[in-house]
Structure 1
Amino acid sequence: MIGYALVTWLAARPAFQLREVTVLTPPAQVSAEQLQYAARSAVKGNFFTVDLVQVREAFEKLPWVRRAQVRRHWPDTLEVRLEEHQAVAYWTVNDSGDTRLVNRQGEVFVAASNAHMPAFLGPEGYAGYLLANYARFSELLAPMGRELVELGLSAREAWQLTLDDGLVIRLGRDREKAHVEERIARFVATYPKALAKLPEPMTVAVVDLRYPNGFALLPAGDKKAVESKK
């Protein structure tokens, strides 16, 4: 008991005060002001009594911070390592319309960004699923030389794709992965030929791939589709 009391007394001495919080990983998105705010609000006590969990949680609450590690460095310093989110897409929930961001791990987080990224729209909890399929659909559409800028998934799990030229592709439900990929491959291979066979040039707004042996073209400003057989 005497030894415990002595250690407690020593730990409370001014000689063990914390004098510095060092961030060892240079942040790309988190500002110096945000780091200072987290440190000032969470660092309480001295070198021995500071609550490292509380400090870690304060840094992880900052926008763009995915994970934080905090450790003591003798004699008067806390060292912090941050892992920041790497945003790859915007995410909008179908029901609420709330817009967030998706990181490389398929996790949704809240932060401000004006970066050029694709947009995902879908039910709550499907961000990772859309991220995986974005790579899949982008690869299938690559021969067209267009960029997939928006990927939507309805509540009934029907896909809709939008390319950088504004073309909307209605893909339908992905009941069988092979069938979806076959429909996209057929479209990529035959779309230029289908346009060339039209009696008059037209601007296509929507392509409907929900056909077993072909697809339909919907001109801009027209509600009637032009069907293209295989």
Structure 2
Amino acid sequence: MWNKPHLLNAIADLLMLVASAALLAAAAVWLVRVPSLPVRQVVFADVLPHTQRLEIEQVLPGALKGNFFSLNLEAVRGTLEKLPWVRKVDVRRVWPARLEVRIEEHRPVARWGEGRGELVNSYGEVFTAVLGDSELAVLPLLAGPAGSSQEVLRRYSELVGSFRTVGEKPVQVTLSPRLAWQLKLENGMLVDMGREQAKAPLGVRLQRFIEVYPETVAKRAIRPAVVDLRYPNGFAMRVAGEGKGK
């Protein structure tokens, strides 16, 4: 072996590689365990309209375990995302001793269901949080089976656009367990739209009603309390205290 320089060089290179790896491993262990590199500052990059500082101070210290390198960022993120108004959290290290936290709060666009404190955010996700009465009062009410919040919010947005052309505003949209749609306008009128129909799609029936609304409905001395759009070729209206009429 001593007469084979190339073999000796290969062994030497291998030993150097092993030694370098050992040094790197030892350095990594030291960086993780050394107590002299604590996180000294946590900076929140966003203004938080709903999440209170006290709420953060109550939960965050328990997740700040370890030093700058060993701190579990996922634990910090998961802890903050449990707060009622927090939708998404991004955490990153900033050398030498700082954490930067970006929080995306839920933006409420509607109430969900009845009396459970549930709201719908701009992504159509349901979350539970406390909102002031004045803020709740201006939000529409949406309801539907579990898992349907995105679909109901999408339908509500479409209906807002449709009724804007006739100067009306939906304030409540409901999807029943049988997938039938009903809406309530700001003027108190209920509109039964029913289910999707292959021969008479919901959109077609609704558009037909919108087109005749100014003359057939808006100009009536007494507006109907309920409008039924479930008919394939027309609709029915009922004034409070009267029977149905086409």
Question: TM-score normalised by the shorter chain: which range applies?
Answer: 0.7 to 0.9
Q: Distance in 2 between matches of 1:80 and 1:161?
A: 41
Matching of residue 12 in structure 1 with residue 33 in structure 2: yes
Counterpart secondary structure, 2:225: strand
* Residue aligning to 1:193: 215
Q: Distance in 2 between matches of 1:6 and 1:128?
A: 50
Higher strand proportion: 1
Cα distance, 1:23–1:173 mapped onto 2, change above 3 Å: same
Q: Distance in 1 between matches of 2:94 and 2:215?
A: 68
2:109 to 88, 110, 118: 88
Please report the RMSD computed on the Cα atoms of aligned residues, expressed in angstroms.
2.4
Whether the 8 Å CA contact 1:91–1:121 is kept in 2: the answer is: yes
Whether the 8 Å CA contact 1:141–1:184 is kept in 2: the answer is: no
* Residue aligning to 1:219: 239
Counterpart secondary structure, 1:214: coil
1:63 to 75, 84, 89: 84
The range that moved more, 7-16 or 48-57, is 7-16
Q: How many residues align?
A: 221
Matching of residue 24 in structure 1 with residue 42 in structure 2: no
Whether the 8 Å CA contact 2:31–2:69 is kept in 1: the answer is: no
* Residue aligning to 1:39: 60
Whether the 8 Å CA contact 1:171–1:208 is kept in 2: the answer is: yes
Q: Distance in 1 between matches of 2:145 and 2:199?
A: 20
Whether the 8 Å CA contact 2:225–2:238 is kept in 1: the answer is: yes
Counterpart secondary structure, 1:204: coil
Matching of residue 134 in structure 1 with residue 156 in structure 2: yes
Whether the 8 Å CA contact 2:119–2:126 is kept in 1: the answer is: yes
Q: What TM-score comes out, normalization by structure 2 length?
A: 0.80
Whether the 8 Å CA contact 2:200–2:232 is kept in 1: the answer is: no
Q: Distance in 1 between matches of 2:55 and 2:28?
A: 35
Structure 1: segments with no counterpart, 5+ residues? none
Whether the 8 Å CA contact 2:117–2:130 is kept in 1: the answer is: no
Cα distance, 1:34–1:186 mapped onto 2, change above 3 Å: same
Q: What TM-score comes out, normalization by structure 1 length?
A: 0.85
Matching of residue 112 in structure 1 with residue 130 in structure 2: yes
Q: Quote how far apart the aligned CAs of 1:23 are.
A: 0.8
Counterpart secondary structure, 2:235: strand
State which structure, 1 or 2, has the greater radius of gyration over its C-alpha atoms. 2
* Residue aligning to 1:152: 174
The range that moved more, 49-58 or 1-10, is 1-10
Matching of residue 101 in structure 1 with residue 119 in structure 2: yes
Whether the 8 Å CA contact 1:21–1:39 is kept in 2: the answer is: no
Cα distance, 1:175–1:21 mapped onto 2, change above 3 Å: same
Q: Distance in 1 between matches of 2:199 and 2:159?
A: 11
The range that moved more, 49-58 or 177-186, is 177-186
Whether the 8 Å CA contact 1:205–1:219 is kept in 2: the answer is: yes
Structure 2: segments with no counterpart, 5+ residues? 1-21
Q: Distance in 1 between matches of 2:217 and 2:74?
A: 62
Counterpart secondary structure, 2:50: coil
